[in-house]
């Protein structure tokens, strides 16, 4: 028996398997972040909450959307971009807590007064994506929507 001299054979196998598993998970995480471009929504601390919504074209196919949520709309809307565009969404609220979810994308944020939240999305197909408020925000909540319009 070699257990007297060190790690037993079975434990070595389990240790090896768990190292391989951890390595595989890290590789998948890197693949999701780098190749698939999936990122976690973040709260931005270096951007001051803004009062006016606007869509800024920073380069061909690159946009910054400064979105203001308020009872009961999103400004600007529609957010018009061309196919293949990458949009950085900065979202804040002018009054109370709202939701900001873009149909058909990974974007799902909270719109909070005094805070700016951030997410990025790429729009590869022409069409309309609805922006949905998914936080109950009183009487007009069910009507609160916006659009991202992707042109060909």
**Contact positions vs ligand CUA (CB under 6 A):** 72, 98, 133, 135-137, 141, 144
The residue among 86 and 96 lying less far from ligand CUA, judged by its C-beta, is 96
Q: Nearest approach, Cβ of 95 to ligand CUA (angstroms)?
A: 9
Task: Confirm if 118 and 103 have CB atoms less than 8 A apart.
Answer: no
The residue among 81 and 91 lying less far from ligand CUA, judged by its C-beta, is 91
The residue among 107 and 133 lying less far from ligand CUA, judged by its C-beta, is 133
Quote the CA–CA distance of 152 and 136 in Å, as a whole number.
Answer: 34
Q: Nearest approach, Cβ of 144 to ligand CUA (angstroms)?
A: 4
Q: Which of 27, 47, 34, 32 is nearest to 117 (CA)?
A: 47
Q: Nearest approach, Cβ of 131 to ligand CUA (angstroms)?
A: 10
């Amino acid at each position: 028996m070699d257990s007297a001299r060190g790690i037993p054979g079975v434990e070595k196998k389990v240790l090896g398997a768990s190292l391989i598993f951890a390595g595989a998970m890290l590789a998948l995480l890197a693949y999701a972040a780098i190749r698939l471009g999936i990122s976690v929504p973040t709260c931005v601390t270096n951007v001051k909450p803004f009062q006016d919504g606007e869509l800024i074209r920073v380069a061909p196919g690159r946009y910054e959307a400064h979105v203001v949520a308020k009872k009961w709309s999103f400004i600007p809307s529609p957010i018009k971009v061309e196919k293949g565009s990458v949009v950085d969404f900065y979202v804040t609220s002018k009054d109370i807590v709202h939701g900001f979810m873009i149909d058909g994308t990974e974007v799902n944020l909270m719109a909070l007064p005094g805070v700016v939240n951030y997410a990025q999305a790429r729009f590869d197909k022409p069409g309309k994506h609805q922006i949905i408020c998914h936080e109950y925000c009183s009487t007009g909540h069910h009507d609160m929507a916006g659009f991202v319009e992707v042109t060909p």
